[in-house]
Structure 1
């Protein structure tokens, strides 16, 4: 009996299945407007990014860490003179992000429907546990997935562990996502296929160069092209 080359498919969530980065960008624009009396937009954005980098090891990924980084940046930009109402505004816009309805991306549902039952589908996402669970529930996509993994970071070790525990190992798995840094490069390093689905907005800390000379690397314009990629690899 011939073994199938791919039995499991992992999917990133934010900006792969549903919109995410656009809400961070619009909130950042609002935030820089709050501090326009103290610094130019570009300077505030630069300081915010520095704070986010510093805080990843403490707060991880997600909206709550973003809120704390905005507060820290406001204190820094204003030399400690930020008003309480500004802090309150930052908290308000952060809560609004946490309440924002989920907007699934084109071709997502029909692609998951086509693949469900033929492959083990695994959601592999990083970020705040409660927020990711909320978005998955509101998306209406949860029933398509055989397993859900919400992790603190995505590394080759992460993909080896997840695909070995819930599937047939990384060598017979494929990872789909919009981040080369988190979804594609480490998945390929673990031995899986990596299918890059670019999103028009990708956080600068998730941007790296595509893997060179990687036979398991693929790129598609949208998820609707995924079944063709699988057919080309598996011949079925």
Structure 2
């Protein structure tokens, strides 16, 4: 892979969002979170989700992570979803907005484990016809990485791990002061729960007490 290819792939991940609290040592790519949120939004009748972004609700009050973050990872803190959507003119607009907001909030908190402060919606278009329920967004495509060390093998076998990934370099990065593991979560498994299982599996292979950082690059 060329340097240009690596940069394009890294930019495609979007922000690295904090998952859980300061002590969880977990992050999820905005790309992975986006796919989960869009699958939830696709089930809301009368609304078509457009642009969607996730960011810290209040960057100045974000906490310092107790585990070294991945490169450019946002500090732990409540997040805000900003989204645009097209709505059917035949449906009450407040009802469509409420249903979409509820779907996004529930998916962010219950399916992903994000700490969410608010969902900010903006209507960009009124549609003359009632849109059909959209097909679910396909899972984020991230190439699997083959485990080549005992630590990587242990991480790949943790409950809820679909496979290892290596979007930031290697699937398991062994630094002097921490270990970073990158995984894709399997369908039906809450990413934050998977993170905890991965951390436990990895720690069992280490001969020291280095903290373990986990990055979720895809939620299948």
TM-score normalised to structure 2 length: 0.31
Specify the structure having the higher radius of gyration (Cα).
1
TM-score normalised to structure 1 length: 0.29
Q: Choose between structure 1 and 2: higher strand proportion.
A: 2
